Structure 1
Amino acid sequence: MYKVDVQADAKEAAAIEARRNREKQRQSRIFNARHLRMGVDVADLKSQVEERKRRQNAEKCRDEAFDAERIQCDKIAQMLEKEEQQRRRQLNQALVEFREQNQQPATRREWDIHDPEAVRKGQPARVSDDDPRCGPSSMQHFAGEDWNGLARQKLLKEQNKRDLEEQKMEREKARADRRYADTLEDKKRIELDLRALELARLEDECRRIKAMARADFNRAQAAEAAEQQRLAQQQEQDDNYAEIHNHLTGDILTENPDVAKSLVGPHRMVPYCWKGMSPEQVEAVWKMQKEQCKENQRLREEQQQLDAEWDRQRHLAARAAMEEEEQQQNFRLQLQKSLGAYNQQLAKAQKAHLQYLEKEVYSNTPTAQYHLQFNTSSR
């Protein structure tokens, strides 16, 4: 608890001290004669402009770096995609060539069954009457008989054995090809990784060189700006000294009345060199002011007369408006009285009409017995 209190007091004291320092800095800026005359904090504005420029430059450099890296990644991806497509194309081409060379229809085990030329290639059932294949009765063999079954089975077994050996060799070759392709792919991937690392290293080196060049450029600009500021301050100081000397040795402080004469004409003068008027000029000014006072007095009297006339006209208009309003009020009262009398007469007439209807017209009011007499029969 005590540690928390001490930390809070320390933080509060630090905050108070920071506010005091900011207030002192603000007072030093406000009560500075140069800044007060200019009306704005030029140094603060310059620092804000420089900070914004630095931030914009940093964002621009970051965007350029991101763009370059994105372009590099796109190039690498395109290269990898092209190599993958080329590898697939080579594999498909090798597969097609292998099928054309080693998987012909004639090398299949069932080719003797599905051979369309089997009938043409085979021997006829009977060559002549002395065909030794015919039996003692000189008859042809019936369909379904297989005299060369054992030889054919032996040949089929040998052919199956050869086919199995060929398939085994093909599988071994395919396995070796796959191992070779995987080895090539691994080597290619390693080569691409090394190339990507080399590109990344070159990019880092380029970025580092750019950063060094930018830092050197910034330092050169800062030195140039400092030199220009120093030269500007020196020039301003020299100008101030020259201006002070000109004022001390000029005609303004020496009270020379001839400096106020203008070269345009004798009746003109230079305003910033004028030292005052002569007694004749002062007398003429006083005379003109008296005439102006008399003229102003005359104008005020005319204005008062005009205001009085306007007030009289306003009173007359107000009186006429009051009289008109009284006439309208009387007319409204008379209209209300006439409407009241007409309404009373109309009410009496309506009341008399109602009495006539109730006593004369509607004298025989139907009862419930009258309504019950209907719908009592089928007719």
Structure 2
Amino acid sequence: MFKLDMPVDSRVVQAVERRRAAEAARHERIFSTRSRVIGVDMIVLEQQVAERRNREEVEKQQDLELDTLRVSIDHMVLEQVKEEEQRRRELAQELQQYRALCQRPEDSRDADINYKHQGAPSVYLPSEESLGPASMQVFQGEGIGEEEKKRFQMELNERTFRAQREERDRQEKEKKHKDMLRDMELMQRNLIDVQLDALEEECKRAARMALKSYNQAQVDERRERERQEKLRQEGEGMKEVWHMVTSDLLTESPEAAAREGERSAEAPRVLPDRWKGMSPKQLSAIYRQREEQRAEKEAQRQLEKHRELAWGLQQLEEAREQVEEERRLREMERERRLQLDKYNQQLAQEQQIHQQYLNKQIYTNRPTARYFSQFNTSSR
């Protein structure tokens, strides 16, 4: 006999439950219209928003803490700088006090030379005759013979100053002499310039007088020419007036144009400036010719009218024939459509008979609603 009451392994049960839960979650996710169509999980989005807000809040707190730490560090640095400066000032003050107390100039080795203490020992200065090449008794910088050197230096400075003053006086005298010579030269040049200006002004005055005389002569000559021109124009005007008064233009002689035109073959038959109009004979000839032209124009108009009438009749006949042709074509089209309708009706009847045959003889086992309800019931 097989033992059937064996305990079930808990891991197997947990695996089965886990798969069932996953399948249920998958089934709910797939068959959820909102999640499938919209595709947005609001719960997850709200969790993400909450996490982001918490993260921003934490970052904000961290920034505040860092700012506080920076401020405290800055204060500490400032305090250290102040302490360092205070320490340096104290060291400098102590150094000055030490120098004032322990490193005074009066306590140096050469204080007797620099400050001339009364208690300093006197220095013996031997003569140059008693010193040999290798005596090494007097050294530079010991201040021996300082008074004589100062006196000699003062005398030398005085001589140098006197020489400089004499040189400066000499230079000033030379400068004054040069300035005087330059002033005299300038005065001489100014005098020459004044003389030249006066001479130039005299020349200009003479030139202006000559120009004035020349201009006056030109004016007189121009006035004389204008007077002569005026007299000539007046004479020509009088001649023209006399000619106009005595000419054929004002006397209105009709023969003047023809008489003048017969002198040469190249001259025009009628002079326009002397022609006074046509004669009655010429006018009657023109009227007669115009009447002939009018009659000819009327005959042409009648002929054109008959021609247009014939053309209109021809167009009317062609239009009638075209209407008959269109009527015949419409009749043929109507007969063709009737035949096509009969053919389509026959095809429809045949199609209906075939469809009835399919529905009643071929497709007898139709699916029910139960057949369609078995689909889309599982997530697999």
Task: Provide TM-score, normalisation by structure 2.
Answer: 0.41
TM-score by length of 1: 0.41
**Greater RCO (CA < 8 Å, at least 6 residues apart):** 2
Q: Which has the larger radius of gyration?
A: 2
